[in-house]
C-alpha cells in the first residue's frame, strides 16, 4: 500500500445518477492496479497512448494489469495537438471495432491532455458510451484536463469545437511520470496551478510563493501537494457547475487573452500554459485598472509567474488584432466580451461590460 497516496473525490449527483469518482494522487501509482480494479466491469481494457508516452509507461501498466488477470489491447497514436482530430479519433474506433471491444470494455487514456480528450470522446461515443479511465502523465493533465469531464477534438475551423461532457470512472495521477516531462511542459502545467490559487485560495497562493522553487525542481512532495490542492479546487468548482453555466467559467481566468496569444502566434508556438501566464497578467492588469486589486497584488502575481519561468509579457500585436481574436472566444455571448477579473488574490469574478478604452490601455501596457 502507498501511504502517501491522497484521494480527491469529484462529487457529481444529478437526477438519480451518481457519476462521482475518485482522483488518486501519489508516487508509483501506475503499477498499483488495485486502484483500477474496482472500476473495471470486464477483465479487458483498451489503453490509448501515443508514440512518446507509450515507450515510457505502457509496458509497466500492461504488466501490472496482467498480474491482476486483466487483458489489454494497445492503441498507440501519433503525438501532438495536430493529431487531436477526427482522423485520429477514427483510428481509435477502428482498433476498437477490429478487436471487438464491447460495451463493458474500459478505455484507458495514458498520456497528456491530447490523449485524454481524444480517448474521452471516443469513450463517450463508441457504442454510445463505454467506461473510461484517465491516467494523466503531464502536470497540465493531472491538474486540469483529466478532471471535470470535458472531452473532444479540434475541427479545422476551431479548437475543441467538437466534444462531449463525459466523466471518467477514476483518475490516477502518478507524479513519478512527471520525471520524464520536458521542463517547458512542466512549467506550462504550473501556470494552471497558480491560476487555482488566484481564483479560489489565497493560502494556496502563498504556499506556492514559498514552494515554487521546489515545484520547478520536481520535488515529489511539493508536486503531490500542488496536484492535490489543484484537483480539490477544480473538483469543487465542477461539482457546483458541471456544464459551465456559472462558477466554472472562473477557471477561464487569463484564457480569453491567452487564447488570443496562442492563436496570433500560431498554435503550438506558445504552449497553452505560457499563453495563460501572460493572459493572467493581462487580466490582473485589467483588474488593477478597474481598481479591484492594487499595484502590490499585481507585483506578487508577476513575481510568482516569473519564479515559475513563465512569460509575463504578451507578444506585440495591434490592439485591434487582439480584439478580433478575443471575440472568437467561446465565452463570447451575443457579441459581448466578458472577462474573468480578480477581486483580490484568492477571489475571481465575472466582469460585466469593460470599457474599450481601459481594455486598450491594458493591452498596450502588457505587450512587449
Give the residue carrying C-alpha cell 508514440: 51
Measure the CA–CA gap between 2 and 224, rounded to whole angstroms: 13
Q: Is 291 a catalytic residue?
A: no
Catalytic residue status for 234: yes
9 three-state secondary structure:
strand
Q: How far is the CB of 147 from ligand NAD (least distance, A)?
A: 7
189 assigned to a ligand binding site? no
Do residues 342 and 282 make contact, with C-beta atoms less than 8 angstroms apart? no
Give all strands (DSSP E) within the chain, no chain letters.
6-10, 13-14, 17-18, 21-26, 44-50, 71-77, 106-111, 132-136, 150-155, 158-165, 170-174, 340-344, 347-350
What is the Cα–Cα distance from 280 to 176, expressed in whole angstroms?
29
Instruction: Name which of 145 and 224 has its Cβ closer to ligand NAD.
Output: 145
Nearer to ligand NAD, 146 or 362 (CB): 146
* Closest approach of ligand NAD to the CB of residue 139, in Å: 8
Q: How far is the CB of 54 from ligand NAD (least distance, A)?
A: 9
Q: Which residue number, 177 or 287, has a Cβ lying nearer to ligand NAD?
A: 177
Residue matched to cell numbers 521542463:
183
Instruction: For residue 81, say whether it is annotated as part of any ligand binding site.
Output: yes
Note if 24 is an active site residue: no
Q: Of the listed 195, 200, 228, 255, which one is catalytic? A: 255
Cβ nearer to ligand NAD, comparing 22 with 148: 148
CB nearer to ligand NAD: give 154 or 362. Answer: 154
SS3 content of the chain, % helix, strand, coil (to 5): 50, 20, 30
> What is the residue whose three cell numbers read 487573452?
257
Decide whether 201 or 274 has the Cβ nearer to ligand NAD: 274
Task: Out of 27, 169, 229, 259, pick the active-site residue.
Answer: 259
C-alpha cell of residue 114: 491530447
195, 200, 228, 272: the active-site residue? 272
Q: Is 272 a catalytic residue?
A: yes
To the question of whether residue 76 is assigned a binding role by annotation, the answer is no
End-to-end CA distance of the chain: 51
**Min. distance of Cβ 70 from ligand NAD in angstroms?**
22
Per DSSP, the residues of 14-66 read ETTEE--EEEEEETT-TT-GGGTGGG-SSSEEEEEEETTHIIIIIHHHHHHHH
Is 255 annotated to bind a ligand? Reply is yes
**Annotated binding residue at 192?**
yes
Query: Residue 339 CB, nearest distance to ligand NAD (Å)?
Result: 19
| Binding region for ligand NAD (CB under 6 A) | 50, 52-53, 56, 79, 81, 84, 111-115, 117, 137-138, 140-141, 144-145, 148, 150, 160, 177, 180-181, 185
Q: Are strands 150-155 and 158-165 parallel, antiparallel or unpaired?
A: antiparallel
259 labelled catalytic: yes
Of 50, 154, 224, 252, the catalytic one is: 252
- C-alpha cell of 10? 469529484
Any known ligand binding at 335? Answer: no
User: Would you call 244 a catalytic residue per the annotation?
Assistant: yes
256 is in an annotated binding site: no
| Residue 50 annotated as lining a ligand binding site | no
CB of 180 to ligand NAD, least distance (A): 4
Selecting among 44, 150, 228, 289, the annotated active-site residue is: 150
Of the two residues 41 and 129, which places its CB atom closer to ligand NAD in the complex?
A: 129
Q: Provide the CB-side half-sphere exposure for 295 (13 A, CA).
A: 0
DSSP 264-289: HH-TTSS-HHHHHHHHHHHHHHHHHH
Q: Find cell 488518486 and name the residue.
A: 24
Grid coordinates given for 101:
471491444
Q: How far apart are CB 209 and ligand NAD at their closest, in Å? A: 24
- Annotation marks residue 128 as catalytic: yes
Annotated binding site for NAD(+): 79-84, 113-117, 137-138, 150, 159, 177-180
List active site positions.
128, 150, 192, 234, 244, 248, 252, 255, 259, 272
Binding site members for Zn(2+): 192, 255, 272
Amino acid at each position: 500500500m502507498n501511504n502517501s497516496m491522497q484521494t480527491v473525490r469529484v462529487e457529481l449527483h444529478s437526477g438519480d445518477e451518481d457519476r462521482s469518482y475518485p482522483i488518486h494522487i501519489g508516487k508509483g501509482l501506475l503499477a498499483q492496479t488495485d486502484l483500477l480494479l474496482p472500476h473495471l466491469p470486464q477483465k479487458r481494457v483498451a489503453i490509448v497512448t501515443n508514440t512518446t508516452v507509450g515507450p515510457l509507461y505502457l509496458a509497466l501498466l500492461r504488466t501490472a494489469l496482467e498480474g491482476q488477470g486483466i487483458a489489454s489491447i494497445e492503441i498507440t497514436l501519433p503525438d501532438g495537438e495536430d493529431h487531436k482530430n477526427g482522423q485520429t479519433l477514427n483510428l481509435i474506433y477502428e482498433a476498437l471495432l477490429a478487436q471487438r471491444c464491447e460495451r463493458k470494455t474500459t478505455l484507458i487514456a495514458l498520456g497528456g491532455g491530447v490523449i485524454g480528450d481524444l480517448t474521452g470522446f471516443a469513450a463517450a461515443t463508441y457504442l454510445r458510451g463505454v467506461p473510461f479511465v484517465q491516467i494523466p502523465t503531464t502536470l497540465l493533465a493531472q491538474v486540469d484536463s483529466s478532471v471535470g469531464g470535458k472531452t473532444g477534438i479540434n475541427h479545422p475551423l476551431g479548437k475543441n469545437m467538437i466534444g462531449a461532457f463525459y466523466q471518467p470512472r477514476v483518475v490516477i495521477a502518478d507524479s513519478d511520470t512527471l520525471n520524464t516531462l520536458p521542463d517547458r511542459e512542466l512549467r506550462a502545467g504550473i501556470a494552471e496551478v497558480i491560476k487555482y490559487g488566484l481564483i479560489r485560495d489565497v493560502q494556496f497562493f502563498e504556499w506556492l510563493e514559498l514552494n515554487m522553487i521546489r515545484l520547478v525542481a520536481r520535488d515529489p512532495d511539493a508536486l503531490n501537494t500542488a496536484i492535490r490542492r489543484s484537483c480539490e479546487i477544480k473538483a469543487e468548482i465542477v461539482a457546483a457547475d458541471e456544464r459551465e453555466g456559472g462558477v466554472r467559467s472562473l477557471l477561464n481566468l487569463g484564457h480569453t487573452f491567452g487564447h488570443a496569444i496562442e492563436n496570433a502566434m500560431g498554435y503550438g508556438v506558445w504552449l497553452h500554459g505560457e499563453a495563460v501566464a501572460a493572459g493572467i497578467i493581462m487580466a490582473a492588469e485589467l483588474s488593477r485598472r478597474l481598481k479591484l486589486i492594487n499595484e502590490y497584488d499585481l507585483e506578487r502575481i508577476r513575481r510568482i509567474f516569473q519564479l515559475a519561468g513563465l512569460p509575463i509579457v504578451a507578444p506585440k500585436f495591434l490592439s485591434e488584432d487582439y480584439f478580433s481574436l478575443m471575440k472568437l472566444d467561446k465565452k463570447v455571448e451575443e457579441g459581448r466580451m466578458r472577462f474573468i477579473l480578480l477581486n483580490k488574490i484568492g477571489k475571481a469574478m465575472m466582469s460585466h461590460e469593460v470599457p474599450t478604452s481601459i481594455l486598450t490601455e491594458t493591452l498596450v501596457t502588457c505587450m512587449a
